[in-house]
Amino acid sequence: MIRISKIEYYLPELVLTNTDLEKEFPEWSSERIREKVGIVQRHISSENETVLDLAIQSSEKVFENYDKNKIDFILFCTQSPDYFFPTTACILQDKLGLRKNIGATDFNLGCSGFVYGLAFAKGLIASGIGNSILLITSETYTKHIHPKDKGNRCIFGDASASVIIEKDTNVGDYKFCLGTDGSGAENLIVKKGGFRTDFTLNPNHEFDPENLYMNGPEIFNFTIEKIPGLIKEIMDENGLTMDDIDYFVFHQANSFMLNYLRRKTKIPTEKFYIDMETTGNTVSATIPIALKNMLDKGLLKRGNKILLAGFGVGYSWGATIMDF
Amino acid sequence: MKTSVFLEKLQEELEEKQMLNRDTKLKDLENYDSISLLSVIAFVDENFNQQIDPDQFKNMETVSDLMNIIGLENFEDE
C-alpha cells in the first residue's frame, strides 16, 4: 500500500564529541560512553537554529531529483516547535515553495513519531486524501537539556529527517500496532513551558523546571516489559515470522538497551540494525536516519521486508512492517 | 540460583575486576555509574525474570540489598 520513496536527513553543524564531554565531566570515560551507550558524537543545533530550519535543510535535500509539486500533504513531527502557533508545517509549506492546495499539520510525538507518521501517511493515502506525503521528523531535544546534565547531554542529538511516502499497489499492505500509556508521562518530560503551571518536580530532578528530565531505569523497565510483546504482536498480526523479516530497525535510543532487547526478542544479530555512533539519540528521527544509512551502506535494498518499532516518551509506542 | 554463581555473574555484568561478596557496597565499585543501574535491571530481568522498581535503587547499598530486592527465596546456599 505505501512505499518510502526517498529519505534524506540533516544534522546541525556543531558537534559534541565524547572527548568534549570527558573534558567537562572528567569522571566520565569517553570509551565507556562509546562502549555502553554506543555514541561517539552528537550534533547540536545552534541557538537560533530551530526544528523548522533543520527541516528546510533535510527537505531541500529530499527534493533533489524529485518534483516537489507532487507533495500534497505535510506531516511534521516535533516536540520543539517554533511557536505555539501557527503550525510549523504551515510555515514550512511557504519556505519550501510547495503547492498551496495541500494539507499540513504538526504532530507532537517523540520516539514513536516516525511509526505514527507512517500510520497517518497510510491513512491519508488509503482514503485518497493524499498521494505523496512529506513526513518530517525534526527534533532539538538538546535545547531543553541543562549544561550540567551530563547523562542527557551524552545521549541526545539534534536532527531532521524528510521522508517521502507514496502509494504503491505492488507492495504489501501491513497492519500497525500502536500503544499508549500515560502513566509513564513523568519519566521523560519537560515540565515548564506549556500551560500546566501547577506541576511539581520529580525529587530526582537536579535542574530547572524548563529542563528535560528522564528517568532512565524506569524507561528501560518499560521497554523490557512492552517491546518483546510488541514485536511478537506485529508479526502475528501480519502473519509473518522472524524468518520473513530482513531487518529489524528499532528507535535508536542507546546501544545497551537495544542489545538487551535484541537478546530478549531473539532477533539474529545480522538482522538487527544498531548505529547511533555519529548522531546520538535524535528522538523521532532515529529510524529514518538509520534506514538512510542502511541504504547508503548497501545493506537495505528495495524489496527487503523491514520491521520498524518506535517507543518512548509518552509513553507511546508503535510498530509496523513495510516492504521497502 | 546459587549465591556464588550469582556473585560471579553480577561481577561479569558490572565488568568489575574485584570479586563481589554480599557486603560489597555497589557505589564503591570502580565502574559503578548510572549505566550500571541499567546493567543491574537487565541482569535481574534476564536471570530472574523480574523487573526491579527503580525506586528501590535509592535504598540499595550492598549486594545483599539487591539480593533482598530480588527475593532471598531465589537463592541457594543461604
The verdict on whether A177 is a catalytic residue reads: no
Same domain, A51 and A104: yes
Going by pLDDT thresholds of 50, 70 and 90, the confidence category of residue B28 is: confident
Which residue has 542489545 as its cell numbers?
A259
| pLDDT tens profile A3-21 | 999 999 999 999 999 999 9
Whether B37 and A36 lie within 8 Å, measured CB to CB: no
Instruction: Please state the rounded mean pLDDT for residues A213-219.
Output: 94
What is residue B76's DSSP assignment?
B
CATH of residue A58's domain is 3.40.47.10
Residue A32 sits at the chain B interface (C-beta within 8 Å)? yes
Going by pLDDT thresholds of 50, 70 and 90, the confidence category of residue A280 is: very high
Please report which residue ranges of A63-149 form alpha helices under DSSP H.
88-96, 113-126
The verdict on whether A146 is a catalytic residue reads: no
- The active-site residue out of A77, A111, A154, A177 is A111
Going by pLDDT thresholds of 50, 70 and 90, the confidence category of residue A26 is: confident
Which of A36-50, A137-151, B53-67 is predicted least confidently? B53-67
| pLDDT tens profile A35-59 | 889 999 999 999 999 999 999 999 9
pLDDT of residue A236: 97
Same domain, A38 and A161: yes
Which residue has 506525503 as its cell numbers?
A133
Nearest CB to B42; choose among A27, A151, A260: A260
Q: Cβ(A160)–Cβ(A140) under 8 Å?
A: no
Cis before residue A315, ω within 30 degrees of 0?
yes
Measured between CA atoms, how close is B11 to chain A, in angstroms? 16
Per the structure, the complete domain to which residue A99 belongs is given by 2-167
pLDDT of residue A269: 96
Residue A256 sits at the chain B interface (C-beta within 8 Å)? yes
> How many structural domains is chain A composed of?
2
Whole-model pTM? 0.95
Instruction: Please state the rounded mean pLDDT for residues A271-297.
Output: 97
Contacts (Cβ under 8 Å, ≥6 apart) of B53: A221
- The active-site residue out of A43, A144, A205, A251 is A251
| pLDDT tens profile A223-247 | 999 999 999 999 999 999 999 999 9
- List the single best residue of B15, B38, B55, B57 to mutate versus A (max A Cβ within 10 A): B38
Instruction: Please state the rounded mean pLDDT for residues B20-46.
Output: 87
Superfamily of domain B3-74: ACP-like (1.10.1200.10)
Instruction: Please state the rounded mean pLDDT for residues A288-313.
Output: 97
Same domain, A139 and A187: no
Same domain, A112 and A242: no
Same domain, A157 and A17: yes
Across the beta sheet with A103-107, the strand order is A2-10, A159-167, A132-139, A73-77, A103-107
Cis before residue A86, ω within 30 degrees of 0?
yes
Domain's final residue, options A115, A132, A167: A167
ipTM of the complex: 0.88
Domain's final residue, options A167, A196, A227: A167
Please report which residue ranges of chain A form alpha helices under DSSP H.
18-24, 30-32, 51-62, 88-96, 113-126, 150-155, 216-237, 255-265, 286-296
Instruction: Please state the rounded mean pLDDT for residues A288-314.
Output: 97
In chain A, which residues have their Cβ closer than 8 Å to the Cβ of B16?
none
- The CA-atom distances, in angstroms, between A207 and each of A4, A169, A190, A212, A322 are 40, 51, 11, 8, 41
| pLDDT tens profile A161-201 | 999 999 999 999 999 999 999 999 999 999 999 999 999 99
Domain's final residue, options A125, A140, A167: A167
* Total Cβ atoms within 10 A of residue A266: 9
Same domain, A66 and A139: yes
Whether A32 and B37 lie within 8 Å, measured CB to CB: no
pLDDT of residue B31: 76
State CA B32 to chain mean position distance: 11
Same domain, A154 and A266: no
The answer, yes or no, to whether residue B57 has pLDDT greater than 90, is no
Q: Which amino acid is at B2?
A: K
